[in-house]
Structure 1
Amino acid sequence: MDLPRIFTIRESSHRVHNPITTDKLATLGRALDPEPGTRVLDLASGSGELLCIWARDHRITGTGVDISTVFTEKARARAAELGVADRVDFVHGDAAGYIADEPVDLAACIGATWIGGGAAGTVELLSHSLRPGGVMLIGEPYWRRQPPDQDTLEACHAVSESDFRPLPELIEQFGSLGYDVVEMVLADQDSWDRYRAAQWLNLRRWLDRNPDDELSAEIRAELTEGPARYARYEREYLGWGIFALMGR
């Protein structure tokens, strides 16, 4: 049980595996201002940056669950680097269907709502781990602009326009599920650039070191075509944000 190797190659230098920066994660932490001892569950926690910096800055405790062995080890190393390994732990496992042994104060799935079959299913999954009155964090794409054609949809990792919603409709969806949106931090185009462009450098450095690897042709094609496709489509049409929700 693990992520395909190309994912960990592509994002080998990333601390955050979404188009959001560490500074924006810190901004969200300051906005929510969790009390010391707040218990957090982060499903699909990646390299653990949210849990680690919030444990350092706000003294939360927490558990992260991620399917990637590489990212889980990076998360543990990051916790040790920041001196918070006694406050957060990271579990290698499938986050889909994971429910905490005891209710937590804050439950998160940031940028991986496929674990619940979409935003609605992930909200339902997280609700089983969240105490009454707790805060839920969902990271989710939305349309910045209406996609004009199938090429745009596919470049934005969508099959149809209904795969994502415009920002107002996404917020309304959370309301229809019985939740108030109480905070949000949105990626901007610079956030997207830092996420995507860092991938290109990772790919090029890997390719230079591994020209004969079985993945080299796939990675060469991605590096050749990806930057212009990103600039033409994803950067212009796709937004992304983290939304803090509280049940009504």
Structure 2
Amino acid sequence: MDIPRIFNVTESAHRIHNPFTPEKLTALGAALRLEPGTRVLDLGCGSGEMLCTWARDYGIVGTGVDLSQLFSEQAKLRAQELGVADRVTFVHADAAGYVAEDKVGVAACIGATWIGGGVAGTIELLTRSLKPGGIILIGEPYWRQVPPSEEVAKGCQAEAIADFLPLPELIASFGHLGYDVVEMVLADQDSWDRYEAAKWLTMRRWLEANPNDEFAKTVRAELSSEPLRYTTYTREYLGWGVFALIAR
């Protein structure tokens, strides 16, 4: 049970597996006014940076679930490094359908809403673990500019223009689902660069270390195409943010 190998290669040096910087993660935690002892569930937690740093900085208690064995192990090492291994737990498992044994004050899915078949399904999944009045965190792309064609949308690694909404429509959609948007922190082009461009050096170093690996052709093709694809499409058209929701 694992994610596709390409992600384990390209993001192996990432601590944050989305277009956020450490500063933005800190800002998000501060914006939520987290109290010590708050229970946080993070589905699709990646390498656990959000839970680990929030445990250190805000005193939360957390559980993270991720399908990548590599990222799950990195999360456990990060918890030990920051001295919070007694406060956060990481589970290598499929986050789809995961429900916490104890209700939490914050239930999050930061950039992995495919686990619930989209935003609405992921929100419904998260509510199963949430205390009444608790906060749901959803990380989701949106169109900074609506692509002029389906070809451009695919260049942004979407299947179609309809996959994402412009920001005002995304905000409105949360209301239609019965939630107040109570906070948001958005990525910017610099934080997108840190997420995407960091993959390129990782791929180059991996290729240098693994020239005879059967996967090398795939990684080489990715490295050869990604800088141009990203700067042509994603950087110009796609936004990303984390949205804090409370049921009405």
Q: CA deviation at 1:151?
A: 2.4
**Structure 2: which amino acid aligns with 1:23?**
E
CA distance in 1, matches of 2:177, 2:76: 34
Q: Distance in 1 between matches of 2:175 and 2:22?
A: 28
Aligned residue number for residue 164 of structure 2: 164
- Whichever residue aligns with residue 130 of structure 2, its letter is L
Counterpart of 1:193 in structure 2 is: 193
Q: Could you say which residue in structure 2 is the equivalent of 1:183? A: 183
Q: Give runs of aligned pairs for residues 10-159 of structure 1, distance below 5 A.
A: 10-159=10-159
Alignment correspondent of 1:239? 239
Alpha-carbon distance between aligned partners in 2 of 1:119 and 1:93, rounded to the nearest angstrom: 20
3-state SS of 2:131 partner: strand
Give, in whole Å, the separation in 2 of the partners of 1:35 and 1:166.
33
Provide the rounded CA distance (Å) in 2 between the counterparts of 1:151 and 1:163. Answer: 13
1:40-61 alpha-carbon deviations (Å, 9 max, x no partner) = 1000000000000000000000
Deviation at 1:208, TM superposition (A): 1.0
Equivalenced residues, count: 248
Output the CA distance in 2 between the equivalents of 1:165 and 1:197: 25
Q: CA deviation at 1:160?
A: 1.6
* Partner-residue secondary structure (3-state), 1:36: coil
Counterpart mapping for 1:203-218 below 5 A: 203-218=203-218
Cα distance in 2 between the residues matched to 1:79 and 1:176: 38
> What amino acid sits opposite 1:216 in the alignment?
A
One-letter code of the match for 1:69? Q
Please state how far the C-alpha of 1:210 moved relative to its aligned partner.
1.0
Shift of 1:8: 1.0
Once the two structures are superposed, the pairs formed by residues 221-236 of structure 1 within 5 Å of their partners are 221-236=221-236
Paired letter, 1:36:
P
Following superposition, the deviation at residue 31 of structure 1 comes to 1.1
- 1:174-223 Cα shifts (integer Å, max 9, x gaps): 11111101000000000110000000000000011111111111111111
Amino acid in structure 1 at the alignment position of 2:136: M
d(CA) in 2 for partners of 1:174, 1:150:
25
User: Whole-Å Cα distance in 2 between the matches of residues 97 and 156 of structure 1?
Assistant: 28
Instruction: Give the letter for the 1:79 counterpart.
Output: A
Unaligned stretches of 5+ residues in structure 2? none
Q: One-letter code of the match for 1:136?
A: I
Q: Quote the Cα distance in structure 1 between the aligned partners of 2:121 and 2:157.
A: 19
**TM-score between the two structures when normalised by the length of structure 2:** 0.99
AA aligned to 1:177 is: L
The C-alpha deviation readout for 1:122-169, integer Å capped at 9, x for no partner, is 000001110110001000000000101232111112122110000000
AA of the residue aligned to 1:41: L
Residue type at the aligned position of 1:189: Q
* Counterpart amino acid of residue 109 in structure 1: C
Cα distance in 1 between the residues matched to 2:46 and 2:23: 17
Partner SS for 1:52: helix
CA separation in 1, counterparts of 2:90 and 2:159? 33
Q: Distance in 1 between matches of 2:238 and 2:70?
A: 28
Q: Which runs of 5+ in 1 are unaligned?
A: none
What TM-score does the superposition give when structure 1 sets the normalisation length?
Answer: 0.99
Distance, in Å, in 2 between the alignment partners of 1:5 and 1:173 is 34
The one-letter amino acid paired with 1:122 is T
Distance in 2, Cα, partners of 1:70 & 1:116: 22
